[in-house]
Structures are given as structure tokens and as C-alpha cells.
Chain A
Amino acid sequence: MSVTAGLGPRLDRERFEAGSLAMLTPALALLGLLFVFPVLYAGYLGFTNLALVGSRSRDYSFTGLDNVVRMLGDYVFIKSSWLTILFVVGSAIIGQSVLGMVLALLLRNAVVPVRLVVGSIVIIAWVLPEITVALVWYAFSQAGGTLSILLGHREANYLVLVPMFIVSLANLWRNVAFSMLVFSAGLRNLPTEVLEAAEVEGASTWRRYTQVVLPLLRPTILTNLLLVTILNLSEFTLIYAMTQGGPGIETMTLPLYVYQEAFVFHQLGYGTAISLVLVLIGAIFSLLFVRAARSQA
């Protein structure tokens, strides 16, 4: 006869408790209804000819690869994809990360009042509602705005002259604090011994940063790149409020094009198909960063 008979379930192994299921259920229900289902539904709608109004709003059908074929011949879509990549690489991957790193390094060595004031201003720019950022940058870049006066061409509207550059700059201005905070935290957690050793050995400041600090920060840098890429790929509000994608289609990145196709031109199916491409681009970038992180470890 077994010794354990009659002693109830064994206690030396972790078990699944019914109570935990009860606590998870509300979150799972909400996520299931308004997250998981819409994601799957998007995967279907992207291959249909669903419209917002008219007969196809009710009698839509699965159209296979029609939307994909349409995309490949769609000049606006191609341009929009390039603009999106330009925006993410220029504003987020290069601009935000480099300036964020520069700020994190400089702030460590700054005198206290400068550190407090500059650090707070950068963070306030990040905390401001996006629409406020859009407004102040709209004002900043208008003809007769501060930028045109600073550059000495009072009548120049830089939001029309170099729209992609201005929205990228505004976006960088808003998001730099995020990378700055991530890098500051990374720098704080570096082992002091290594830095001190490099200093004692007489390494120059430049060599200490390029050959000791940056390699040690590699995981932090890759995490930052992954996060800012994903966050910036779906940027909509700032660009839309400043330009609505214009002038022409000069700032029509993919999220704006999704909105325009779906809710302005009433092509819900085609709009969804474009949003799937956006997810695909995000997945490709993520994969690259994850592989880069693995190759080191």
C-alpha cells in the first residue's frame, strides 16, 4: 500500500490554483474581446474588399491576394512605406537614440543646476500630451514663427518647405527623454570597478567611452532600439495633427495612410491590409535587434 494514500494532493509540487484563474479572467476576457479577436479579425479583413459605406459595407467578400497586388501597384503605398522607414530610422533609431545617449552622458558630468534644469525640460517635453507637442511645433515652424525668425527667412513656412524633416524633429524632441532615461539607468548600473580600472590604466576619455562604456551598454542600447522602433512605427497623432500627411503626400507615413484609406476613402479592407504591412515591418526590425542581441550572448 502506498504511504501517501489518504494524505490529499502532494504539496512538494507547484499546482495550478483555481483562485488564480478567477483573478486572470477579467483581464483575459477584455483582452480576448478587444485585443486578440481584433488582431485575428484584422488578419481576415486585410484580405477582403470591405468598405465603410455602400453595398460593400455589408456584402463584402474574401478577395485573396487582391489587396497585395493593389499595394504593389500603389504609388502612394510605396512612397508611404519609404517615408515610414525614413521616419523611424532618422527620427527614432538615429536621432532619438544618439541625442538620448549624448544627453545621458553629458548630464552625468554636468553641474547640478544645469543637470536639474535641462533634465527636467527634456522630460517635460516627453510628458506633454502629443497634441500639445503638435501645436507648439506647428507654431514654431509656421511662416512668421520662431524658427523662421531664427533662420532669417520670416516668410518661410518650414512645415511646407521641409515637412518630413520638421515632423521628424518634433518627434525626436518629444521622445528623446525616453532614450535618455533608459541610457541613464543603464549607465548607473555599470560596474564602477571596470571604469576605474580603465582610468587608472590611463585610457583617454574617448577610449574609455568607445571601448569600455559602449560595449558594456550593448544590451541596453539594443533594448532601447527595439522599443523606440516599435513605438515610432505606429506614430500617428503628432504627424496627423501637424500636416494630415501633407503637403500632398509628403508626410503620409503608413499609420496615416491606413487612416486615410480606411476612414476617408472608406476602404476598410485595403486599409487593414496596409496595417498588416506595418506589423510586418515592425516584426522584421524586432527580429534584427533580437538577433543582434543573441549574437553577442
Chain B
Amino acid sequence: MSAVPARDSAKPTLIVVPYRRISAAALITNVVLILIGGFFVLPMLWMVFASIDSNPDWAIKLPTLTFANFADVIGTAGALTAFRSSLILAGTTTVISTVLAVLAAYPLSRMHIPFKRSFMLAILFASGLPVSMLIVPVYQMYVYFGWLDSLYTTALFLAASSLPFAIWLMKNFIDAVPVELEQAAAIDGASTFRILRQLVLPLTLPGIAVTAIYTFINAWGAFVIPFVLNSNPDDQPGPIEIYNFMGSHGLFKFGDLAVFSLLFSLPVILLYLFMSRYFSGAFSFSGAVRG
């Protein structure tokens, strides 16, 4: 289960090595890790260096320092519109998905519902279905409803596609809260909604934050759904703007592209750092689906 804290006693398994003598194995371990780290950092470094270079190209090189690229990007209306569109798209998706997930996860965690186990399995299965399968029928439906080319209706489908995993995540968080408090409140005559609002919500706030941030990070980077459902050139979100830039092969300034991608990536990195201290437990999958 996700919220069981990792046993600290399980961490150190190595023999204590006297401080100054570094064993060959330890040396190799650290050197190999540094090499792997190099493989991971190299592609990223290009973006950072090119963003402050006055004459960047595709290669990583020491920059001729300038902040003109930043001034360029921050000054253009297109970049601001892309941020605004991404914020609307990801924000709407997150609000819809998180609210519905919390509402649905509570009864799934606490109450007697027929076929609950099958339902949770169906939810888990649904979160694995490829968007490629849904995109054509949803496109047809959006044509029929007249919902194409709007950020809000696009967000509605993004919310639907992220909802199964959000429910599953949220149910695990509620499962981890001891049920005794709620039973006491129920005996004292509190209604279900009052228990939810005054007891469960405050106790699962970290879980709700993780679910919301996870949904937001995914929606912020979403590409194919807005790409197909929203072709309005006036409100394209960031990923599509970057893609259009890349498609114009060399007809753009490398520095501006690097700055825009860097600025666009920062919010999700910061959100992840904020969330990670709550999230570490979510990767133990043992006994993930319980009836």
C-alpha cells in the first residue's frame, strides 16, 4: 500500500567501510553513476547554454553570455499567449479531474458498493488504454457537439482521460487514513458530506495535492489531445508552439526556442520538487488494488 512509510532500518545494508579506505567496488559504483549522470545531463545542458548564448547552434558550447534571448521571448505576445493557453488548459483539467476523483474515491474507499473490486480493476485497465484509440471517436463526437477548437472542451477530454488514474491514486490515499475517526463522527451523527468536508478533506490534503499536481504536470505537457481537438491558432498551448517552432527547420532563433522551452519546463519541475516529498511512497505497488 502506498502510504506505508519506508522502513528506515532497511536502508543501509553495506558493511561499514573505514573512512579513508575506499574499496574498489565503491569506487566503480560511483564512477559508473557519474558516467550515467553525464549521459542524462548532456542533452539538457544544450537548452540551458543555448538560452544564454548570443550565437547558439545545435551543439553544446560555452555561451557568449547574453540575456537578449530572454528579453526576446518575454517581450513577444505569442509566448505569453502560449503560457496563458497552457494555464487555462492544465488548470481546467486539474480542477475537473481532482474534484471528481476525490468525490468518487471516498465512497470507493469507505462504503459498500456492489462490484467495487471489478470497478477498480476496470479503472486501472482504463488508465492503460492508449489515447490513440479514443482520439478518433472523441473527434467525431466533438464535431457532432460543435466542441472543437475550444480550450475548455479540450480540457474536458483531458480530464476524462486522466480521471481513472486520479481516482486510483486518490483511493489509495484515502485508504491510508484510519477509519476510526470517521466512525466516531458517524456515531455522533455527522452526515456523510460533513465527514468528507471536515474530516477526510483535511486529513488527505497531501494526497489531494499529489493527485492535482500529477494531473497538472501531465496536462501541462499534453500534446496529442490539444493537437487534434484544438486547431484554433490564437490559443495554442506551449507544447504545440514548441512543435511548430521545431517544424520550421532553422527558420527560428535557437536561443529563443531554448529560452521558451526552459521557461515552459520550469513550472512542472518546481511542482514536482514540491510534491516529491509526499510522493515517494506512491511507487510501492504491492497490494495496490484492494477490494
Q: Looking at the complex, which one of B10, B37, B106 makes contact with A117 (CB distance below 8 Å)?
A: B37
- Provide the bound-state CA to CA distance between A181 and B280, in Å: 8
Tell me if B33 and A110 are in contact (CB < 8 A).
yes
Contacts of B9 in A (CB 8 A): 192
Interface 9-residue window, one of B40-48, B70-78, B204-212:
B40-48
Q: Looking at the complex, which one of B34, B58, B114 makes contact with A139 (CB distance below 8 Å)?
A: B58
Tell me if B36 and A255 are in contact (CB < 8 A).
no
Tell me if A27 and B112 are in contact (CB < 8 A).
no
Contacts of B33 in A (CB 8 A): 103, 106-107, 110, 114-115, 118
- Provide the bound-state CA to CA distance between A15 and B29, in Å: 57
Tell me if A127 and B272 are in contact (CB < 8 A).
yes
Contacts of A145 in B (CB 8 A): 46, 58-59
* Number of A residues, CB within 8 Å of B: 103
* A246 at the binding interface (Cβ < 8 Å): no
Beta-carbon nearest neighbor of A223 in chain B: B285
Tell me if B242 and A219 are in contact (CB < 8 A).
no
Tell me if B130 and A110 are in contact (CB < 8 A).
no
Contacts of A237 in B (CB 8 A): 221, 223-224, 239
* B150 at the binding interface (Cβ < 8 Å): no
Q: How far is the CB of B31 from chain A (nearest CB, A)?
A: 9
Contacts of A128 in B (CB 8 A): 44, 265, 268-269
| Given contact pairs A108-B13, A129-B264, A41 touches B137 in the complex (Cβ within 8 A) | yes
- Provide the bound-state CA to CA distance between A70 and B179, in Å: 56
Beta-carbon contacts of B213-247 to A below 8 Å, as 1s and 0s? 00001001101100010000000001100110010
Most buried by A among B32, B113, B140: B140
Q: Looking at the complex, which one of B103, B133, B160, B269 makes contact with A34 (CB distance below 8 Å)?
A: B160
Tell me if B130 and A173 are in contact (CB < 8 A).
no
Contacts of B30 in A (CB 8 A): 110-111, 114
Beta-carbon contacts of B27-65 to A below 8 Å, as 1s and 0s? 001101110110111111011001000000111100000
Contacts of A103 in B (CB 8 A): 33, 36
CB within 8 Å of B: which A93-131 residues:
99, 102-103, 106-111, 114-115, 117-118, 121-125, 127-131
Contacts of B203 in A (CB 8 A): none
- Provide the bound-state CA to CA distance between A255 and B43, in Å: 25
Tell me if B13 and A236 are in contact (CB < 8 A).
no
Interface of A is mostly: helix
On chain B, which size bracket covers the interface? 35 or more
* B202 at the binding interface (Cβ < 8 Å): no
Q: How far is the CB of A176 from chain B (nearest CB, A)?
A: 8
Q: How far is the CB of B284 from chain A (nearest CB, A)?
A: 4
Tell me if A131 and B239 are in contact (CB < 8 A).
yes
* B251 at the binding interface (Cβ < 8 Å): no
Contacts of A240 in B (CB 8 A): 223-224
- Provide the bound-state CA to CA distance between A134 and B246, in Å: 10
Most buried by A among B9, B13, B42: B13
Tell me if B59 and A149 are in contact (CB < 8 A).
yes
Q: How far is the CB of B214 from chain A (nearest CB, A)?
A: 11
CB within 8 Å of B: which A127-169 residues:
127-132, 134-140, 142-146, 148-149
Tally A-B pairs: CB < 8 A.
295
Tell me if B103 and A125 are in contact (CB < 8 A).
no
| Given contact pairs A139-B58, A190-B10, A127 touches B132 in the complex (Cβ within 8 A) | no
Contacts of A41 in B (CB 8 A): 137, 140-141
Contacts of A188 in B (CB 8 A): 6-7, 10-11, 284
Tell me if A35 and B164 are in contact (CB < 8 A).
yes
CB within 8 Å of B: which A175-213 residues:
181-182, 184-186, 188-192, 195-196, 199, 205
Tell me if B58 and A30 are in contact (CB < 8 A).
no
* A75 at the binding interface (Cβ < 8 Å): no
Q: Looking at the complex, which one of B25, B46, B221 makes contact with A140 (CB distance below 8 Å)?
A: B46
Tell me if B37 and A109 are in contact (CB < 8 A).
no
Beta-carbon nearest neighbor of A126 in chain B: B272
Q: Looking at the complex, which one of B46, B99, B108, B239 makes contact with A146 (CB distance below 8 Å)?
A: B46
* A17 at the binding interface (Cβ < 8 Å): yes
Residue pairs across A and B with Cβ atoms less than 8 A apart, 17 shown, are: A16-B114, A24-B113, A26-B103, A31-B126, A117-B37, A122-B36, A127-B268, A138-B246, A146-B46, A146-B58, A185-B6, A230-B128, A234-B132, A236-B131, A254-B132, A255-B130, A255-B132
